[in-house]
Amino acid sequence: MPAPPHAFAYALSSNQAWAGYKGHQNPDFFPKLASGQSPAILWLGCSDSRCPETVILGLQPGDVFVHRNIANIISPTDINTSAVIEYAVTHLKVKHVVLCGHSSCGGAAAALGDARVGGVLDTWLTPLKALRNANREELNSITDDKQRAVRIAELNVEAGVAVLMANAAIQDAIAERGLQVHGTLFDIGSGRIRDLGFGTGKGGPHGFVGAGDTDVVRGKHAMLVFRTDGAGMSVR
């Protein structure tokens, strides 16, 4: 659906309607949000407008701490990403760190091509270009352009999870309180998230997989349940 001509004015009006609806539905919702946050999930994703984490997880404001950038690249030297990870893991004590790539990623497509994007974007996409070069034979064997882009997106998540698993704050939290790290891919065409099996748990095609326990993230209208055989959503 295309944005209306006056997109910002429409967004403000929509916000007023949303806030009014949420406040009427649950008068304690915003006062409780204002009192503090205790999210269970740190979501590291792409800035793509089609990948709004709280929406696609079926959760609510306050449930997910978020960092997004172009092509969900996790670099150990990026102080922005590192600060978010440290705050979420060390201070908010999230239970899950989720790195999520996605299909139809513009950054992945750019990395597969030889043309320059221009400006700082070429520098930012260097890790993806390196992945392409390191996996050139496999990627060239995939004849479908969309599938090739999905494959490099998967490789990017795998590389990002490796960086996360080497992060000192994450290592301490895994050892001390069982923090779980998940590498996933969001399929824009179906709206579903696929666990790629990278991180602390054993992955599968059905959702986030924990390390042998059951964990519940509670939103206002639903519960997202992490368990050994996948994840499920129940409405309440």
Residues marked as catalytic: 46, 48, 50, 102, 105
Token pair recorded at residue 85: 């990870």
CB neighbour burial string for 74-92, b if at least 16 within 10 angstroms, e if fewer: bbeebeebbebbeebbeee
> DSSP 3-state assignment of 64?
strand
CA atoms of 207 and 33, how far apart (whole Å): 27
SS3 57: helix
Residue 104 class from Cβ within 10 Å (0-12 exposed, 13-18 middle, 19+ buried)?
middle
Record the tokens describing residue 105, joined without a space.
């990623």
CB proximity list for 197: less than 8 A, separation 6 or greater: 183, 203, 204, 209
